[in-house]
Amino acid sequence: MTARKTMVVKIGSSTLVEDGELRRDFISALASQARDLCEAGWNLVVVSSGAIACGAPLLGFERRPADMPSLQACASVGQCVLSAAYDEEFRAVGLLTSLVLLTRGDTARRTSYLHARDALTRLVDLGVVPIVNENDTTAVDEIKFGDNDTLAALVSCLVSADLCVTLSDIDGLYTANPSLDPNAEFIPRVDKIDAAIIGSAGDSTTTVGTGGMITKIRSCRILMTAGIESVICSGAEELPLVRLANGEQVGTRFVPPTGRLEIAPRKLWIALGDSAHGSVTVDAGAADALVKRGSSLLPVGISSVEGSFAAGDVLDVRDASGFVLARGIAEAGRDVLELAAGRRQEDIAGNHLLAALANKPAIHRDNLIVFA
């Protein structure tokens, strides 16, 4: 018996909501695709934006409010509308949906991360189509994912997805923002996300969502590291999910390197489960050791430290140009790392102020994920 595959689809607010109205026709078409995917051996998980965009007009707001209590109120009302629409349209084709609301607080702790993974996996095993969204009603800035592109990447890792698809208001990645540069060229396939690819990502051109192309690219990079293919394409495409499942070319496909080892769940949690509390910039030698040799990060390779963080917090690791190479858990707080930066281990061992790093690196390789 052929094993079933899992697809995660992320749907942006601009695709779901038009002129303040929820597009029931879009959800109905999505449900039909979900049924066809199910019959073809695919499970589907939906990461859905749109709660705030649905709730705002119902509460009398002509545009997206700016203050947090109003946004939370809009999300609370809009989530009911969204959930009802998904339930009705998917039931019409014989599929059951569930509602899963997450915040970064649910995944920043590893135990909670694993509980979320187990719940989603069980729902999928039972043939349910989970509808996942950020819990905007209770989330505040400190615990928000900030955009559902990041949430979709997290969910894809949680359910060990075979493919993550982002349905957007743009048909894929271009060499520049096509709305500003008429010479921008479409990029059908990406095998490595480097500084040039990230530089080509433009800002969001809509007012109903929170994410732009840059957040999508960053999420695709994490998925490539996890060995998960991803696609960015237009929500206006005809049957995009079914066509992708059949191997057709739709949008821009991000293909992970071949032969990569499976990334340990703990490292995926480091990459996605919590936001970075700070960053360290490393010299060329340290960058090479991290990327090519899988080494731990030693204090001697650190050239500068930014942010306010304590031992155990997640840090971004940047090269001299500012490009994020990796992410890991700090073995010491900001003050200690800043004092230890550029020093060799024998110098650190002789300084009682740096006792926390006397016998260990700044970030251990077991607590470090290097991005593809």
Express each pLDDT in 296-322 by its tens digit: 999 999 999 999 999 999 999 999 999
Helix (H) or strand (E) holding 186: strand 186-187
Percent above pLDDT 90 for the chain = 58
Q: Which CATH class is domain 276-370?
A: mainly beta
The least confident of 96-105, 159-168, 357-366 is 96-105
What is the number of other CB atoms lying within 10 angstroms of the CB of residue 320?
A: 12
pLDDT at res. 147: 67
C-alpha span between 320 and 286 (Å, rounded): 11
Q: Place 259 in a pLDDT band, splitting at 50, 70 and 90.
A: low
Binding-site residue numbers are: 10, 49, 136, 148, 168-169, 210-216
User: Which has the closest alpha carbon to 37: 94, 85, 118, 99?
Assistant: 94
Examine the pLDDT at 33 and tell me if it is beyond 80: yes
Report the pLDDT averaged over residues 213-222. 86
pLDDT at res. 142: 40
Percent above pLDDT 70 for the chain = 90
Largest Cα–Cα distance in the chain?
Answer: 71
Examine the pLDDT at 204 and tell me if it is beyond 80: no
Better pLDDT: 305 or 262: 305
Q: Place 80 in a pLDDT band, splitting at 50, 70 and 90.
A: very high
Q: Place 48 in a pLDDT band, splitting at 50, 70 and 90.
A: very high
Residue type present at position 7: M
Joined tokens for residue 349: 């061992």
Better pLDDT: 120 or 218: 120
Q: Which residues, in sequence order, are CB contacts of 281 under 8 Å at separation 6+?
A: 302, 303, 304, 305, 306, 318, 319, 320, 322
Mean pLDDT of the chain: 87
Examine the pLDDT at 105 and tell me if it is beyond 80: no
pLDDT at res. 139: 54
pLDDT at res. 262: 60
Examine the pLDDT at 140 and tell me if it is beyond 90: no
Report the pLDDT averaged over residues 154-172. 91
Binding-site residue numbers for substrate are: 49, 136, 148
Q: Which CATH class is domain 5-265?
A: alpha beta
Q: Place 274 in a pLDDT band, splitting at 50, 70 and 90.
A: low
Q: What is the dihedral of CA 58, 59, 64, 69, to 10 degrees?
A: -140
Place of tokens 């075979």: 162
Phi-psi region of 67 (alpha: psi -120 to 50; beta: other; left: phi over 0): beta
Examine the pLDDT at 41 and tell me if it is beyond 70: yes
Examine the pLDDT at 216 and tell me if it is beyond 70: yes
Radius of gyration of the chain (CA): 22
pLDDT at res. 295: 94
pLDDT at res. 207: 37
Asked if residues 253 and 243 have their Cβ atoms less than 8 Å apart, the reply is no
- For the chain, give every domain's residue range: 5-265, 276-370
Examine the pLDDT at 209 and tell me if it is beyond 50: no
Q: In what order do the strands lie in the sheet with 302-307?
A: 302-307, 278-282, 314-318, 324-329, 368-370
What pTM was estimated for this model as a whole? 0.84
Q: Each residue of 321-342: pLDDT tens digit?
A: 999 999 999 999 999 999 999 9
